[in-house]
Amino acid sequence: MPTPDLPYLNLREMEAAAAEVLSPAALAYYAGGANDEVTLRANRDGYAALRLRPRMLVDVSAIDTSTTVLGLPLDFPVGIAPCALHGLVHPEAEVATARAAAQTGSVMALSTMSHRTIEDVAHAAPGRLWFQLYLYRDRSVSRALIRRAEAAGARALVLTVDAPVLGRREAIIRTPVRVAPGTVLPNVGPRTPGSEGLDDLSYFDTLLDPALSWADLAWLRAQTTLPIIVKGLLTAEDAALAVEHGCHVWVSNHGGRQLDTAVTALDALPEIAHAVAGRAEIYLDGGVTRGTDVLKALALGAAAVFVARPALYGLALAGEGGVRHTLDLLRDELRLAMALCGKTRIADLGPDLIWRG
């Protein structure tokens, strides 16, 4: 059950409550999308537009939401997507989020741009951590991060490929993000001389390699034996290439923060599932706020879904307990949605659940 001392009935109530407590800069950064935010809105609207085909007279007295991702048992198929800078809203930052993920039997993908070290976060979520990689122009720095992630027990690397340059997020152009004075982000390091005028995201952007290509994925594949998940794919063509490079596929438009008017992950999922054809695992994120959203993504071929903003809002409201509340709500809503659809196991969720008009 959701944490009893938190009054929020659903993720949207948590979002509204978080908007009241976040600083203007954190709110602009967390909530915002690119340009006109067409894709940001479509991510949510897409779930509402898909209708379910529930089956009746099925014994639903026992519902099992458990599953596995890359061999890791999950209590339910929802993880925490990588998001930068949890420390903007809570002093324990990613450590609190990781504890919540571990306690709920979930999995957390830790962003490269975190406030806390890989080791601290891994310690808070033993065996339940993936490490998200933004490849730096200086590959030796990235290589060192990979080694640290491996040593800390990360179970996979998530290479984000949809941000070779940062999208145009007008809210943070107006209200830029700056970490507290004196903070050195552990995977970013001290500022290079002359960069003091840049806000933290613009500075981070200067470290990233806009020349990243499939050849770099081959390089990365050779660097580690950990599973690699390519995050930010939206087409069958790219999903097939990722699989040919020995990787798994994370369907995402980066929460509508990169290319505005890009297709939603939910809409892209069927062609990607078809192209992958069971050769790799598929994950999805973007706009998930209800158990029925999780159900629809799984029905169309995702092995698990991930949430970013809802976790951050939970963290802002109540730290570790707030993130747990987010995850508990999604698990309970998924269980209910499965029961009302006449499905008792995750493996039973398939495209027959989706009404085709």
- Number of residues binding to ligand FMN, judged by CB under 6 A: 23
Site for ligand FMN in 28-57 (CB under 6 A): 29-30, 43
Q: What is the DSSP letter of 348?
A: G
Our CB check for ligand FMN shows the closer of 60 and 175 to be 175
The answer to whether 111 is annotated as binding is yes
Applying CB under 6 A, among 6, 26, 27, 113 the residue interacting with ligand COI is 113
Residue 311 or 346 having the CB closest to ligand FMN: 311
287 binds, among ligand FMN, ligand COI, none (CB under 5 to 8 A by kind): ligand FMN
Give the whole-angstrom CA distance, residue 168 versus residue 175: 13
Which helix (H) or strand (E) segment holds residue 244: the answer is: helix 236-244
Task: Label residue 45 left, alpha or beta by phi (over 0 means left) and psi (-120 to 50 means alpha).
Answer: alpha
Q: Which residue is nearest to ligand FMN (CB)?
A: 255
Cβ atoms within 10 Å, residue 277: 10
Partners of 354 in beta bridges: 52
132 binds ligand FMN (CB under 6 A): yes
- Tell how strand 72-74 and strand 67-69 pair up: antiparallel
Applying the rule CB under 6 A, the residues between 75 and 94 that interact with ligand COI are: 84
Euclidean distance between the first and the last CA atom of the chain, given in angstroms as a whole number: 35
Minimum distance from CB of 16 to ligand FMN (Å)? 15
The nearest distance, CB 83 to ligand COI, in angstroms, is: 7
Residue closer to ligand COI (CB basis): 70 or 166: 166
Helix, strand, or coil here: 259? coil
Binding to ligand COI by CB under 6 A, coded x per residue (else -) over 194-213, reads -------x--x---------
Angstrom distance (rounded) from CA 232 to CA 141: 22
- 204 binding partner (options ligand COI, ligand FMN, none; Cβ < 5 to 8 Å by kind): ligand COI
Is the CB of residue 134 less than 8 Å from the CB of residue 108? no
Q: Which is nearer to ligand FMN, 21 or 58 (CB)?
A: 21
Catalytic residues: 254
Q: Which of 170, 167, 183 is nearest to 28 (CA)?
A: 170
Annotated ligand binding at 140? The verdict is no
Residue 252, φ and ψ in degrees, nearest 5: -170, 145
- Residue 61: how many other CB atoms lie within 10 Å: 7
Site string (239-258) toward ligand COI, x via CB under 6 A:
---------------x--x-
Hey, which residues between 71 and 100 contact ligand FMN (CB under 6 A)?
81-84
Residues 6+ apart with CB under 8 A from 47: 266, 287, 288, 289, 290, 292, 293, 296
User: Each residue of 177-198: b (16+ CB within 10 Å) or e?
Assistant: bebeeeeebbbbeeeeeeeeeb
Q: Which one among 124, 308, 334, 349 touches ligand FMN, defined by CB under 6 A?
A: 308
Complex with ligand FMN: residue 148 or 348, whichever CB lies closer: 148
- 125/343 with CB nearer ligand FMN: 125
Q: Which two tokens stand for residue 8?
A: 């929020």
State the nearest-atom distance from the C-beta of 207 to ligand COI, in Å. Answer: 9
Question: Is residue 99 a contact point for ligand COI (CB under 6 A)?
Answer: no
* Annotated binding-site positions for FMN: 82-84, 111, 160, 231, 252
Give the binding site for ligand COI (CB under 6 A): 84, 113, 163, 166, 201, 204, 254, 257
Annotated binding site for glyoxylate: 29, 132, 134, 169, 254, 257
Give the interface with ligand FMN as residue ranges (CB under 6 A): 29-30, 43, 81-84, 111, 113, 132, 160, 231, 252, 254-255, 285-288, 307-310
